[in-house]
Chains A and B, each alone.
Chain A
Amino acid sequence: MRGLNKWLWKNKVFVSLLLVSAGWWSVVLRPGVLIEEWKGMPANLMSKVGAVFNDDKMARVFELRHVDLNHKGELFYISKFLYNKSWLVGDEFFSGLSYLSPRFYFQSGDGGQLSPSGVGPLVFLLFPFWVSGIFQVVKNKNRGTVFLMVMMGTFLVGKHNMAFLFLLMICNLYFSSKGLTLIKQAPLKKGLLILIIGVSIYEGGRALWLS
């Protein structure tokens, strides 16, 4: 208990932000939906792995390899080098990286049951602090690796929705809180925190009103 208290005190900014974020409440108040979504993990994994080199994607790569502006049936000699299966792996990697795209967390959510209505899961004012916080946190190699693994793991077993991005949302909130704590001037930090909490409450009210 004492350890928990210590941790809570140490991370009071994070905890305060968590408690006022619409995304947190919209998920924890609907655990049934969350569990139902999570049950689909094995199927998601199978379909994602199976789809990496699916026929449609291979056909597109093949099409690019054979694009011929002069319509003379020429095959550009480096085509095979440029367009091959490694492109598909790269595409998956960047699809995974797009799970980090800030729009989802700070503006749109997924519009589903677990996403707060009409507001972002996290308050938009946190965006600049998220950018600074993320680089502050992942500067530690271990933490960086863990975060990348969480992101790629989510990508592999999940979908681009709140049920699966919930964990990443918590990570992002943590980064934002770290970014916020980087501000040295105490009055500015306090003022910002009050403003962020105020806007969070407003957005929470909007989400409730809309739902």
Chain B
Amino acid sequence: MVKLNNWQVGLLIVFTVAVFFRFWKLSDFPVSLSMDEVSIGNNAYSILKTGRDEWGMKLPLYFKSVGDYKPPVNVYLTILPIFLFGLSEFSVRFVSALVGAMTSVIIVLLLREMGFRKSTALFGGFWVAINPWHVHFSRASFEAVTALFFVILGLLIFLKGIRRKSHYLLGFGGVLLSISMWTYHAERLFTPVLVLFLLVNYRQKLKFIFEKRKKLLIVVGWNLLLLAPLLYVSLFTPAIKTRALSTSILRDQSLVKNLHNGEYLSFGEFVFDNDVYLIFRHFLGKYLNYYDLRFWFWDGLGMTPKGYPGMGLFYTVDLVIILVGIRRLFVDKKLQHKKLMFFWFFVGPVSAALTMNEQHSLRALIWLPVFVFTASLGFEFLTKRRRVYFGILVAGVLYFGDMYFRQYPFYYSEYWQYGHKDIALWICENKENFNEIIVTDTFGSEAPINTGIPYAYVLFYCKEDPLAFFENGRKIKGVSFRRVDWKNDSTRQNTALIGSRWDINPNDVHPEKLVKVTKFKNGKEAFVYTETN
């Protein structure tokens, strides 16, 4: 029987809580696989079966997927759970959930390494284990969660390397940080700046690395081995460029309409209204928006429509400890690694602010560690009021649970492509009975404003042979994916039509030909299944 000391028991509890929050009903919530998740699953399955992605590329360094050029790490990591558990929702979400749970433990170790007390470090891990922001994104296959894990682990090993004066630990930390750049887009900007900061900030302590040149060359070599292909992908393939351009702040219409594109009407315009200033100002607005307390504590996760009770990135009760923690960060002169925390506080949301959307909680996930630091600093201050904190926290957890498992699916099931699994399973069963099945790729409960990739769901749930799919020109035999043109398509022979209610009005369909009508979680009609003669 292995005997565990208090510290190890604490770590085990943190991990268990984190696992519970991430794995409970993992297959059912979120209510459907998102487009990204199903693409990750398909590509991982395809690699497992054929060694190629869905476009036929052999062991690619990036996944073209639906033209969004996914970073490779999550896809490759998902191969193992698919091998172990088969192609299912659980397998696709397994990596994020596990890595998310492990992040809580790594946070504990990082806080210890940064000089926090044991109890505070354990609290930090527990705080991440139940944090709505991290739990929410860990429960779906979001690359940002995996990337954050690698950044935190990399930083931990790096700081250990400095303390122990170990070349290999430093090198390994660098490798992990490099992997984070392969994992999510935001880290491609954040991690290099973080590394630069670490090298400058800890330059005195890093002097030892030059004492043994051979070791230095080896660890630099490891990192170059990982970074050289990334440079190649960035410079000579469309992968990173395409993704960057599609989400860049420079595509934001509210900015584009004000830009002069270098053509100024007067010198005054050139001086006071030049494009550089306009772009910077636009970025600044997005950046400062991340420092909004309402976003942090009240409605940042956007789980309900605007104006409804919502969910912030943190529990409301965290307001006190985070603000106290930030105050300590600025005021406490004895704090270790203070500059690192400052750096994270101000640089964390930069990469998210360089993209089109306002207050994007997923892209800003890399900012999370600074709140762990500050919440932990604030927790130390609580002392006698800890019971009150935990009491209110219980209410917060109940509220989050209700938001996550009841309100969020109700209001946003269609944005999670709810109904596509049903379509795919129906096609798997009935494909042989029809000459053709036509499936819409456009849908929505209020208007046909959502676009989906139903083919990916058919590939996933029917476990179509990936080789046959790309040899067939990326088509599934007997199934077409386009909007249903009711007037013409309803005259086709022996065809099944699956359209949104905007394409097919159930009242126009002969009752005998109406197979079924599915609904979104909010009770509104989603898809209409019909047969022709």
Contacts and interface: CB of A to CB of B under 8 A. Distances in A.
Contacts of B217: none
Question: Main SS of chain B's interface residues?
Answer: helix
Count class of interface residues, chain A: 35 or more
B288 interface: yes
A106 B283 CA distance: 12
A131 B326 CA distance: 9
Contacts of B272: 202, 205-206, 209-210
A60 B521 CA distance: 18
Contacts of B277: 206
B273 A64 contact: no
Interface string A62-99: 01100101010000101101110001001100110110
Interface string B37-69: 000000000000000000000000000000000
A112 B331 CA distance: 37
A76 B281 contact: no
B251 interface: no
A82 B450 CA distance: 31
B294 A98 contact: yes
Contact of B523 (A71, A79, A205): A71
Nearest to B319: A97
Given A64-B309, A127-B288, A135-B326, A100 B298 contact: no
Contact of B285 (A103, A128, A131, A206): A103
Interface string A106-122: 11100000000011000
B24 interface: no
Contact of A108 (B285, B307, B309, B327): B285
Nearest to A119: B281
Contacts of B304: 64
A63 B308 contact: yes
Contact of B284 (A106, A128, A136): A106
A202 to B, nearest CB: 8
Interface string B272-294: 11000100010011001101111
B268 interface: yes
B315 to A, nearest CB: 12
Contacts of B271: 205, 209
Given A107-B284, A139-B331, A102 B291 contact: yes
Contacts of A97: 293-294
A107 B309 contact: no
Given A67-B410, A106-B284, A60 B307 contact: yes
Nearest to A83: B309
A128 B287 CA distance: 12
B313 to A, nearest CB: 13
A87 B316 CA distance: 11
Contacts of A71: 523
A97 B297 CA distance: 11
Contact of B406 (A69, A101, A107): A69
A101 B289 CA distance: 7
B288 A98 contact: no
Given A60-B308, A71-B523, A107-B288, A101 B330 contact: no
Contact of A103 (B268, B288, B327): B288
Given A98-B292, A209-B272, A82 B398 contact: yes
Nearest to B297: A94
Interface of B: 268, 271-273, 277, 281, 284-285, 288-289, 291-294, 297-298, 304, 307-309, 316, 326-327, 330-331, 345-346, 398-399, 402, 406-407, 409-410, 521, 523
12 contacts: A60-B307, A61-B309, A67-B407, A76-B402, A90-B316, A98-B292, A135-B326, A139-B331, A205-B272, A206-B272, A206-B273, A206-B277
Given A101-B288, A128-B346, A136-B331, 13 more contacts: A60-B308, A69-B521, A82-B398, A100-B293, A101-B293, A103-B292, A107-B285, A127-B288, A135-B327, A139-B331, A206-B273, A209-B272, A210-B272
